[in-house]
């Protein structure tokens, strides 16, 4: 499952190659309760077809109309601002006085989007610099700490997976988690030395390694843009990765299993050179308590918790419903 940014880039490249006029819009600044974050992109074809979003639907119709009529960014990059006045905010449905500033650019052979796309598809991070006056584009290697910047003259946008997810285990749950994480712009690495699981792994765009989990985590040098999730139920594999991850700056470390199993896991981890504070960083049982039962539901709960931690959101304690039994076709609470 590709990220939204990849879909936008692929569409813009395909439209330009097919001879269509196309425009790329990027959110460069927001004020107030803007509906889409800085860096969000939208590709608009000359006939009005669109891929992506810059406002969740609030201003897209106006942008489409202006692009179809060649009223903006027809031959060189241009700025567009929405929501400065109350009338504009009401007209475009921007919440709570939210304001968007966009850069729009015509997609041409000089935009270097095909080259950018090829690099991003290799899971490399790229800084793309657009000169507003000339429309000239330069590409250079990016860093995970880089952020979009715009000074009115040059737009520097960052493309590629700035976030990494390392999973221990190549089972069924890992497949769903990998696909969901890819849609959220994570580069996914799967660790599983077990032949019976590794041989069946075939999720496109991910990296599979059969080395021992602790060696892989150490070699990857986890940073604050890295999440590590252990999913095998085998302490000989899971604990090795968790020990190294908990000592690192990883923003998220989780482990599958029941509360009882994770209590036992914490006791085992305490026997190694981990401090109580490091062990407290473990999210186990992993994921938000959504009542998840199936592998896709569990994967959803994990990416939801990862997203909340990544965004700095305080996660409320969710109380699961009481267990029920089935009697004569009715659900009854179990004692």
Q: pLDDT category, 92, cuts 50, 70, 90? A: low
Domains and CATH numbers, the chain: 4-159 (no CATH), 163-310 (3.40.50.720)
Helix axes 295-310, 172-183, angle to 10 degrees: 40
Q: Tell me: the pLDDT tens digits for 165-193?
A: 999 999 999 999 999 999 998 999 999 99
Q: pLDDT category, 274, cuts 50, 70, 90? A: very high
- Residues 24-43, mean pLDDT to the nearest whole number: 85
Q: List CB contacts of 322: < 8 A, sequence separation 6 or more.
A: 333, 334
**In 10 A of CB 2, how many CB atoms?**
16
Whether residue 215 contacts residue 208, with contact meaning beta carbons closer than 8 Å, is answered with no
Whether residue 216 contacts residue 208, with contact meaning beta carbons closer than 8 Å, is answered with no
Q: Which residue has the tokens 């715009």?
A: 150
CA-CA distance, 16 to 56, in Å (whole number)? 24
pLDDT at res. 94:
60
Say what the pTM is: 0.74
CA-CA distance, 42 to 37, in Å (whole number)? 12
Q: Tell me the average pLDDT of the chain.
A: 89
């Amino acid at each position: 499952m590709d990220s939204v940014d990849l879909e936008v880039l692929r569409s813009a490249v395909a439209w330009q190659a097919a001879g269509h006029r196309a425009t790329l819009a990027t959110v460069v600044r927001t004020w107030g309760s803007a509906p889409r974050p800085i860096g969000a992109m939208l590709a608009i074809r000359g006939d009005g077809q669109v891929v992506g979003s810059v406002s969740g639907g609030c201003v897209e119709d106006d942008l489409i109309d202006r692009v179809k009529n060649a009223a903006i960014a027809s031959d060189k990059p241009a700025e567009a601002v929405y929501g400065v006045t109350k009338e504009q905010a009401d007209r475009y449905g921007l919440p709570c006085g939210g304001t968007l500033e966009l850069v729009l650019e015509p997609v041409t052979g000089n935009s270097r989007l095909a080259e950018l796309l090829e690099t991003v598809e290799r899971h490399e991070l790229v800084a793309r610099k657009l000169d507003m006056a000339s429309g000239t584009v330069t590409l250079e290697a990016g860093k995970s700490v880089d952020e979009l910047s715009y000074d009115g003259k040059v737009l520097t946008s960052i493309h590629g997976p700035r976030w990494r997810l390392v999973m221990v285990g190549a089972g069924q749950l890992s497949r769903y988690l990998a696909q969901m994480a890819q849609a959220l712009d994570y580069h996914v690495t799967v660790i599983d030395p077990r032949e019976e699981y590794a041989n069946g792994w075939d999720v496109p765009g991910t990296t599979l390694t059969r080395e021992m989990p602790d060696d892989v985590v150490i070699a990857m040098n986890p940073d604050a843009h890295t999440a590590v999730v252990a999913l095998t139920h085998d302490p000989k594999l899971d604990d090795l990765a968790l020990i190294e991850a908990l000592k690192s700056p990883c923003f998220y470390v989780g482990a599958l299993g029941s509360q009882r199993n994770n209590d036992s896991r914490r006791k085992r981890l305490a026997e190694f050179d981990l401090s109580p504070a490091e062990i407290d960083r473990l999210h186990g049982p992993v994921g938000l308590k959504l009542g998840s039962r199936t592998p896709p539901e569990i994967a959803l709960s994990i990416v939801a918790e990862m997203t909340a931690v990544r965004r700095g959101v305080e996660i409320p304690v969710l109380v699961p419903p009481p267990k029920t039994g089935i009697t004569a076709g009715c659900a009854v609470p179990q004692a």
